[in-house]
């Protein structure tokens, strides 16, 4: 059998990539275009009829102040969370690659929160904020303080804190790989040339870890923009809908208010915003990448 024939190559390609390609089309491509079609209807998610409404859903989405408020809230939450997640993850990675005793144990320990689902994690921390911290405050002061989750700023603070706790361990592993990919001889050469450890870190190690920064910022940005499970279980959008993120608003629009076409339209707008931010971040991040 001639292995350079086009039919043979096509057969090999379909044998290995065919099943994965079919699954990808079935769960990603087809639902995407079906969702795009639904943005032009006023379907309620239940009835058999899907009335065509043209661009009415897009006009309504751009006029929906609650949606843009939730999106603005998501931007604030994402910016603070992404910065904190990456700062904490970087220092954790530096700590567990510095040769301390039990560093493999600490790596596993810091990564464990990422293995817990957002729903479970949210309920666990909800108990901590509503019961444990309140009980400790009562024991120390004699009066029961209010829960952090009962105030608007407190709810946002709790969301950010738990997100950092959940994502930092995962990002830490990427930074650990970045630290281990930097040749020690480069750091030693910088120290011999008169740099102290801080300057060697800033001028040698960090530039060579640019690929790790790009990956971690991209992953943490997309995760924060699409957060829903943690938002649902920890705050459920309360108090007074002050912690409703964009993904939760979209879900409520589609499945709670039975306005599926509108919810699908707002989901598409959110997708486009996330895609643009992610693409720009990766483009500018990789533009100045340094080869080791």
Burial class (CB in 10 A: 0-12, 13-18, 19+), 236: middle
In this structure, the chain runs to a length of 292
Task: Determine which of 28-37, 89-98, 181-190, 208-217 has the lowest per-residue pLDDT on average.
Answer: 181-190
Q: Is residue 240 within 8 Å of 248, Cβ to Cβ? A: no
The predicted-structure confidence for 55-68, as pLDDT tens digits, reads as follows: 899 999 999 999 99
- On whether the CB atoms of residues 221 and 278 are closer than 8 A, the answer is yes
Tokens (6 digits) for 253 = 């629009």
Rounded Cα distance between 285 and 85, Å, is: 17
Cα distance between residue 132 and residue 4, in whole Å = 68
Q: Using DSSP, state whether 87 is helix, strand or coil.
A: helix
Mean pLDDT value of segment 206-217: 88
pLDDT band at residue 258 using 50, 70 and 90 as cut-offs? confident
CA distance linking residue 174 with residue 209, whole number of Å:
10
Residues 37-44, mean pLDDT to the nearest whole number: 89
DSSP string of 264-283, one letter each residue: HHHHHHHHHHHHHHHHHHHH
pLDDT attached to residue 138 = 86
Q: pTM of the predicted model, to two decimals?
A: 0.85
Confidence at 289, pLDDT banded by 50, 70, 90: low
- CA 20 → CA 6, 17, 80, distances in Å? 21, 5, 37
Residue 3 confidence (pLDDT) above 80: no
CATH number of 57-290: 1.10.3720.10
Identify the bridge partners of residue 41 per DSSP, sorted by sequence position: 52
State how far the alpha carbon of 108 is from the alpha carbons of 93, 100, 102, 105, in Å: 12, 14, 10, 5
Q: Report how far Cα 5 is from the mean position of its chain's Cα atoms.
A: 45
Is pLDDT above 70 for 37?
yes
Q: Shortest CA distance to 160 belongs to which of 77, 90, 216, 234?
A: 77
∠ Cα 139 140 145 (to 5°): 75
Residue-level pLDDT at 207? 87
Residue 213 near residue 86, CB atoms below 8 Å = yes
pLDDT digits (tens, 9 = 90+) for 167-207: 999 999 999 999 888 888 888 888 888 888 888 888 888 88
Distance CA 97, CA 100 (A): 8
88-112 confidence digits (pLDDT tens): 999 999 999 888 888 888 888 888 8
pLDDT at 78: 94
Higher pLDDT, 71 or 283: 71
Distances (CA, A) of 239 to 117, 160, 181, 255: 23, 16, 46, 21
Average pLDDT, the chain: 88
Residue among 166, 173, 183 at smallest CA distance from 215: 173
Query: What is d(CA 247, CA 268) in angstroms, rounded to the nearest whole number?
Result: 11
- Separation of first and last alpha carbons in the chain: 44
């Amino acid at each position: 059998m001639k292995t350079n024939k086009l039919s043979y190559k096509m057969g090999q390609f379909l044998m290995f990539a065919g099943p994965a390609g079919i699954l990808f089309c079935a769960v990603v491509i087809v639902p995407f275009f079906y969702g795009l079609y639904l943005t032009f209807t006023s379907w309620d998610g239940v009835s058999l009829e899907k009335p065509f409404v043209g661009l009415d859903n897009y006009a309504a989405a751009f006029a929906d102040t609650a949606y843009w408020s939730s999106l603005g809230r998501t931007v604030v939450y994402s910016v603070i969370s992404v910065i904190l997640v990456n700062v904490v993850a970087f220092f954790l990675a530096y700590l567990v690659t510095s040769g301390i005793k039990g560093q493999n144990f600490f790596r596993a320990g810091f990564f464990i929160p990422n293995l817990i689902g957002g729903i479970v994690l949210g309920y666990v921390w909800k108990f901590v904020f509503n019961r444990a911290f309140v009980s400790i405050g009562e024991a120390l002061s004699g009066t029961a303080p209010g829960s952090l989750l009962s105030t608007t700023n407190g709810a946002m603070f709790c969301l950010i804190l738990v997100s950092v706790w959940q994502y930092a361990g995962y990002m830490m592993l990427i930074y650990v790989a970045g630290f281990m990919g930097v040749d020690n001889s480069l750091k030693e050469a910088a120290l011999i040339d008169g740099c102290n450890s801080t300057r060697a870190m800033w001028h040698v190690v960090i530039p060579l870890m640019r690929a790790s920064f790009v990956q971690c910022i991209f992953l943490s940005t997309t995760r924060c923009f699409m957060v829903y499970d943690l938002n649902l279980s920890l705050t459920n959008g309360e108090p007074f809908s002050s912690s409703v993120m964009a993904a939760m608003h979209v879900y409520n629009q589609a499945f709670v208010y039975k306005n599926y076409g509108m919810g699908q339209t707002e989901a598409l707008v959110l997708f486009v915003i996330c895609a643009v931010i992610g693409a720009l971040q990766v483009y500018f991040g990789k533009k100045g990448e340094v080869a080791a």
